[in-house]
Amino acid sequence: MVKITGIEFRNPTILASGIMGTTGASLVRMANSGAGAVVTKSIGPEPKTGHPNPSMVKLDCGFLNAMGLPNPSYADFDNEIKIAKEGADVPVIASIFGGNAEEFVRVAEGLTEAKPDAFELNVSCPHAEGYGATIGTDSCMVEAITAAVCDAVDAPVWVKLTPNVTDIRSIGKAAENGGADAVVAINTLRGMAIDINSGYPILGNRFGGLSGPAVRPVAIKCVYDLYETLEIPVIGVGGVSSWEDAVEMIMAGASAVQIGSAVHEGIEVFGNIATGIEQFLQDNGYAGVEDITGLAHEVI
């Protein structure tokens, strides 16, 4: 059991946004597979179709995707959160996005009736023009958006950060200054793949976000830096596919870990990782996850 931003989780594994989070039923399925919490697909102020296909490609080092934040809008998604809340016995976090503070607030307020356990602000998607990282690279905008949502809702507010910046610590600090209860690091890294036979980019959007094993060292460093800088919890995400990966990220400073791309290999990944972490703690005489959170900072 871990407790983050006042929410209790049965284990430190969380379904990352954008993976199996498009319906209430799929969120319940992930909870039943062992996830300690689930995060919805990012939901915005208006319906959005996303980018044309191909929108996802598997590479030798992970996945490259450019979905473009497709979603039905908050007005048509609140019932999916209610379904997830009724059917899942774990916290349900609503991931939301907008083009400015007013849109973020409108979406958050529109989903409040569904009673998500927390809101995760997506200011980090690297392939949606006018949204995501377009906002998340500006510390002033991040602070203003965070403050506006915190003022509008009673639930905890998490801010998901982009690694596509010079110094993620300054963006994390802006979120903390805006009143964020936690930060989530990291979203995908900008990337591109080209078909050498045609000479054309493979993705319909030309470029997208890289996830999977290749990004884990980047995520570890970002989590490490944020843990040193911030007073609020850091939730780690990026390339976690085994309990060893999760323990490494926790030792860097993560209070919990989100799992995304690894779900493609099987939804039992949550239970496997949670069991592995628990066994590691027992074998090494640790009472709980908090005993190894940020441990890498203590040995220097």
Binding-site residue numbers are 17, 41-42, 65-69, 122, 160, 186-188, 212, 238-239, 260-261
**Separation of alpha carbons 255 and 253, rounded Å:** 7
Active site members: 125
Bridge partners (DSSP) listed for residue 189:
210
Residues 95/132, Cβ–Cβ less than 8 Å: no
C-alpha triplet 223, 28, 214: angle, nearest 5°: 30
Reduced 3-state DSSP string for the chain: CEEECCEEECCCEEECCCCCCCCHHHHHHHHHCCCCEEECCCECCCCECCCCCCCEEEECCEEEECCCCCECCHHHCHHHHHHHHHHCCCCEEEEECCCCHHHHHHHHHHHHHHCCCEEEEECCCCCCCCCCHHHHCCHHHHHHHHHHHHHHCCCCEEEEECCCCCCHHHHHHHHHHCCCCEEEECCCEEEECECCCCCCECCCCCEEEEECHHHHHHHHHHHHHHHHHCCCCEEEECCCCCHHHHHHHHHHCEEEEEECHHHHHCCCHHHHHHHHHHHHHHHCCCCCHHHCCCHHHCCC
> For residue 109, how many other CB atoms are within 10 A of its CB?
13
62: phi then psi, degrees, rounded to nearest 5: 150, -145
